[in-house]
Amino acid sequence: MKSLYRYSLLILLYTAFLTGCVEPYAPPAIESTTNYLVVDGFVNSTDGTATVKLSRAIPLSSTDSPPPEVNATIFVEDDKGNRTTLQGDQTGNYTGSGIPLDMSSKYRLRIRTVDTKEYLSDYIELKESPPIDDLKFIPRDNSISVVVSTHDDTGNSRYYQWSYDETWEYTAVYMSGLIYVDGEVLTRPDDSYIHRCWRTLSSKHIIINSSEKLQEDLISEFPVVNISKGSQKLFIKYSMMLRQRVLTREAYDYWEELQKTTENLGGLFDPQPGKVTGNIHSVSDAAEPVLGYFSGGSVQQKRFFISLRDLPDNLKAYQSVGNCVQDTVLLADLPDYSPDFNELIGTATAGPVTIGYTYASKSCADCRTQGGTTTKPEFWQ
């Protein structure tokens, strides 16, 4: 299974503003070393897999992506002395499969980096997640909310976390029926149409909730995501694959604190104004901060779809032409036509005579320019 969160925490020691001053105060700590190890790890007892993402933290002022920590040696160890080695790649992702996970055992991570430093997580217990009871959408004034419901009759869950992959179908404004190849205009082959696409994105924000203060261990219609009216996601069909897992109280406290931090800046991928440490520690240097968390347990999944016809009339919206326009290239000007920036739409005629071809920019006639792919997902209905 993919890692629950494919990200690296960007951190900074302190961000301070002097109260009452017009100019923000930037303390010297801003320039200090922030090259801390960042760990995001999870063992999935549902399919016997483990995923760990390693990277290095970067300063708030940096515009670079967090550098991956590669060529590390990572083990998943249980409290009985068994261990499994994870295999890494050049993006800092380490994975393992076929791990004989036992819900009654406890597990930890052991990490050895190429600079010979060693890190250990605390031993964790694996948490069993109850099934997802319901996943649906609720209409709002100018949006829809996708909400989830779940419960645990045993009362052993209490602390929940969700992530999702969302996929939607959309089209380019214009359909390109022709293709320009080596100075010749041809009918576009059936397998090369670029009008209809599907795009998939994964959740970026921390989504958690607790039933701790309730008599029942029940989560009812908790909003996972909000989609505004007029979003491209709702023009044709939208699908979400939601994943649910249960956290320990300690893990929940960690994610809650990190959520508070990231919400102040707008997103999980934004630089952090302060370090939020988890359950991973340096063996080589007890004073070295290590960021991130290692947890594990079963994962419940549920997929649902929303079609345009499922929406109430007041929330239905349709794709507009916007700034997209068609132009015409005459036959005599075809040698100067640029297929690198445009796509042919159809034939331009004067009566029965073909005088040229209509075209539009790629952004208006090639759906792939909006981040999607023309390959239809296997799960699509």
pTM of structure: 0.84
The answer to whether residues 190 and 280 belong to one domain is no
pLDDT in tens, 99-145: 999 999 999 999 999 999 999 999 999 999 999 999 999 999 999 99
The answer to whether residues 264 and 118 belong to one domain is yes
pLDDT in tens, 36-66: 999 999 999 999 999 999 999 877 667 778 8
Among residues 263, 284, 299, the one where a domain terminates is 299
Rounded to 5 degrees, φ, ψ at 363 are: -65, -20
Looking at 79-238, list the stretches that DSSP marks H as alpha helix, in order from N- to C-terminal side. none
The answer to whether residues 117 and 4 belong to one domain is yes
pLDDT in tens, 5-30: 333 333 333 333 223 344 443 434 44
Average pLDDT of 289-306? 96
In angstroms, the first-to-last Cα distance of the chain is: 23
Give the chain's mean pLDDT.
Answer: 89
Model pLDDT, residue 275: 63
The answer to whether residues 112 and 80 belong to one domain is yes
Q: Which long-range CB contacts under 8 A does 185-189 form with residues at least 24 apart?
A: 185/334, 185/344, 185/357
Confidence of residue 249 (pLDDT cuts 50, 70, 90): very high
The answer to whether residues 68 and 107 belong to one domain is yes
Give the domain extent around 187. Answer: 173-198+323-370
Could you tell me if residue 24 is inside a domain? Answer: yes
Residue 242 burial (C-beta neighbours within 10 Å; 0-12, 13-18, 19+) = buried
Confidence of residue 274 (pLDDT cuts 50, 70, 90): low
In the chain, the number of structural domains is 2
Average pLDDT of 33-37? 80
pLDDT in tens, 177-233: 999 999 999 999 999 999 999 999 999 999 999 999 999 999 999 999 999 999 999
Residue, of 16 and 164, whose pLDDT is higher: 164
